[in-house]
Amino acid sequence: MRWRRDLGTGKLTIERIHLVTSLPPGAAGGSELTARIRGHWRIENQLHHVRDRAFQEDASKIRTRNLPRVMAGLRNLAIGIHRQDGHTNIAAALRRTGRDHQRPLTAPGLT
């Protein structure tokens, strides 16, 4: 069970969640399972959500051979460079770099 507050209405609700794991029964306690779940969602929120929102990845029409994987790697590279450069808002960083073609090359030290 978890508590959830709707930020728009302020209404507090209780959700019952069911999870599936490959761990044998009793192999992990509640705190370890919680840490694993948070780790999963941290990756989801920091990478996959950013790739979809900033790059519209889910709407991509690229489906041939290895190109979807290559494009995901390039998007990850762009996100990583912006994060390494200190940006937390990747969409704003992309807009900023879109105005100057040299800017993306300065962060990794290519110019």
Tens of pLDDT, residues 22-41: 888 888 888 888 888 888 88
* Residue partners of 81: CB distance under 8 A and separation at least 6: 104, 107, 108
The more confidently predicted of residues 109 and 11 is: 11
Tens of pLDDT, residues 51-75: 888 888 888 888 889 999 999 899 9
What is the model's pTM? Answer: 0.60
pLDDT of residue 67: 92
